[in-house]
């Protein structure tokens, strides 16, 4: 029977073997090593000649159950989990040896990693405006890996994935979409032509602020390349973290829909606030890609709101964050609680200030990750903090 996303995530992990019955809550199999009746059996598993588990760095039943679910959600053949989102990005970047064609306003850690690979390994790194398909077609070459974000972090630009995929494929490149901010609730990039999908499990998919992890979904061939990296780099997601992610995923659709609804209400309120200079949110009619977001995300717009204070200065942003009481001044996104981030201090600290400003991350810009609290309480907290700016 075909099940919709909400049913899939609620039933997550129940394929784990459990003797005569299947538990409602999937078991946590914490063991590092696995015993076999003969060395020949163990050798066959090590050699990928038969399924099984031999050592925690090579795979565990609990993490494999999570990978099976994530591949299903992303509608791609295989998924590989990692100990963090950045280890997933690193494995993907190094699995491809061609040029890296990267969205210019991507997450700061992704851009910093690309720069390190350029400086240390001589990688060909090219930054592009992802809303310009001609720029992507010019930058992409056969064997290149194009990396874009479905909703960019933190400027909330919306990428037309089908358009990007068409331009990149025409040039013989592979397309990877980081769907962390979108989640499978808003879109499945593979439906729009993406070859690879990335998520930081740390964010919405786990959703409770207590797990770090990452995942790359793609082809069987990519899985083999990533398996080699996850084993030799020691970056495989441990079973306890995987079990917590399965638990978190059960409420994914409920959480994300609530966060999208609250974020839209908060964005509309802040757009008319006298202490706010501008609001970036795809659900507002003045967002440059509002129509695209409406089509691509089926009426949802994400749980993150970008705000530039009217007094567009660093000390104003710091005063605002320090005055928050309900919302946390925290450096992550996608949790059940509201969090506000200041990019120059955290996510984009390594990016040159002039480049931050060129992209739109001015000194008075903050990113609000909306939680599942009552939106009226969030708005009251933001209003009170804005009073001191």
Q: Provide the pLDDT for residue 353.
A: 79
The domain spanning residue 165 has which CATH number?
3.40.640.10
Minimal CA–CA distance to 74: which of 224, 187, 242, 209?
187
How far apart, in whole angstroms, are the C-alpha atoms of residue 109 and residue 88?
12
Clarify whether residues 150 and 276 are in a common domain.
no
| DSSP conformation letters of 65-78 | HHHHHHHHHHTSSE
The domain spanning residue 377 has which CATH number?
3.90.1150.10
Q: Provide the pLDDT for residue 298.
A: 87
Q: Provide the pLDDT for residue 330.
A: 86
Which residues 6+ apart lie within 8 Å of 39 measured at CB?
Answer: none
Range of the domain at 357: 252-386
Which residues 6+ apart lie within 8 Å of 316 measured at CB?
Answer: 309, 364, 389
Clarify whether residues 280 and 240 are in a common domain.
no
Clarify whether residues 71 and 124 are in a common domain.
yes
| Residues annotated as catalytic (active site), given as ranges | 57, 107, 178, 203
For residue 121 the two structure tokens come to 């390994």
Q: Provide the pLDDT for residue 15.
A: 55
Q: How many domains does the chain have?
A: 2
Q: Provide the pLDDT for residue 10.
A: 82
User: What count of Cα atoms within 13 Å lies in the side-chain half-sphere of residue 155?
Assistant: 22
Clarify whether residues 203 and 172 are in a common domain.
yes
Where does a domain end: 185, 216, 249? 249
How far apart, in whole angstroms, are the C-alpha atoms of residue 200 and residue 300?
20
Chain centre distance of CA 31: 28
For residue 292 the two structure tokens come to 């695209």
Q: Do residues 30 and 16 touch, judged by C-beta distance below 8 A?
A: no
How far apart, in whole angstroms, are the C-alpha atoms of residue 79 and residue 99?
23
Ordered per-residue pLDDT tens for the chain, 389 residues: 567 888 888 877 665 554 556 677 888 999 999 999 899 999 998 888 888 999 999 999 999 999 999 999 999 999 999 999 999 999 999 999 999 999 999 998 999 999 999 999 999 999 999 999 899 999 999 999 999 999 999 999 999 999 999 999 999 999 999 999 999 999 999 999 999 999 999 999 999 999 999 999 999 999 999 999 999 999 999 999 999 999 999 999 999 999 999 999 999 999 999 999 999 999 999 999 999 999 999 899 999 999 999 999 999 999 999 999 999 988 899 999 999 999 877 667 677 778 777 877 888 999 999 999 999 999 999 999 999 99
Backbone φ and ψ for 172, nearest 5 degrees, come out as: 85, 25
Q: Do residues 167 and 186 touch, judged by C-beta distance below 8 A?
A: no
Q: Provide the pLDDT for residue 173.
A: 97
Q: Provide the pLDDT for residue 20.
A: 55
Clarify whether residues 134 and 268 are in a common domain.
no
């Amino acid at each position: 029977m075909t099940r919709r996303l909400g049913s899939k995530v609620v039933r997550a992990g129940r394929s784990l073997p459990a003797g005569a019955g299947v538990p409602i809550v999937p078991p946590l199999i914490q063991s590092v090593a696995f015993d076999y009746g003969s060395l020949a059996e163990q050798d066959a598993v090590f050699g990928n000649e038969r399924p099984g588990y031999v050592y925690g760095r090579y795979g565990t039943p609990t993490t494999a159950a999570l990978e099976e679910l994530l591949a299903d959600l992303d509608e791609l053949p295989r998924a590989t989990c990692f100990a963090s989102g950045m280890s997933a990005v690193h494995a993907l970047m190094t699995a491809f040896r061609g040029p890296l064609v990267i969205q210019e306003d991507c997450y700061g850690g992704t851009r910093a990693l690309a720069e390190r690979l350029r400086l240390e390994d001589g990688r060909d790194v090219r930054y592009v405006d992802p809303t310009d398909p001609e720029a992507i077609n010019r930058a992409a070459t056969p064997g290149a890996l194009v990396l874009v974000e479905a909703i960019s972090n933190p400027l909330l630009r919306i990428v037309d994935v089908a358009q990007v995929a068409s331009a990149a494929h025409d040039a013989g490149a592979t397309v990877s979409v980081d769907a962390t901010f979108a989640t499978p609730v808003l879109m499945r990039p593979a439906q729009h032509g993406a070859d690879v999908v990335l998520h930081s499990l740390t964010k919405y998919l786990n959703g409770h602020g207590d797990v770090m992890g990452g995942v790359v979904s793609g082809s069987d061939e990519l899985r083999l390349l990533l398996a080699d990296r996850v084993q030799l780099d020691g970056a495989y997601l441990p079973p306890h973290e995987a079990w917590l992610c399965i638990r978190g995923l059960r409420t994914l659709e409920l959480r994300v829909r609530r966060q999208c609804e609250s974020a839209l209400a908060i964005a509309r309120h802040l757009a008319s606030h006298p202490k706010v200079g501008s609001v970036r949110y795809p659900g507002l009619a003045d967002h440059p890609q509002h129509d695209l977001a409406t089509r691509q995300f089926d009426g949802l717009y994400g749980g993150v709101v970008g705000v530039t204070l009217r007094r567009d200065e660093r000390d104003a942003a710091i005063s605002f964050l320090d005055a928050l009481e309900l919302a946390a001044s925290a450096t992550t996104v996608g949790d059940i609680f509201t969090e506000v981030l200041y990019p120059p201090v955290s996510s984009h600290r390594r990016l040159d200030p002039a480049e931050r400003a060129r992209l739109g991350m001015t000194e008075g810009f903050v990113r609000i990750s909306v939680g599942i609290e009552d939106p009226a309480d969030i708005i009251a907290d933001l209003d009170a903090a804005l009073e001191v700016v």
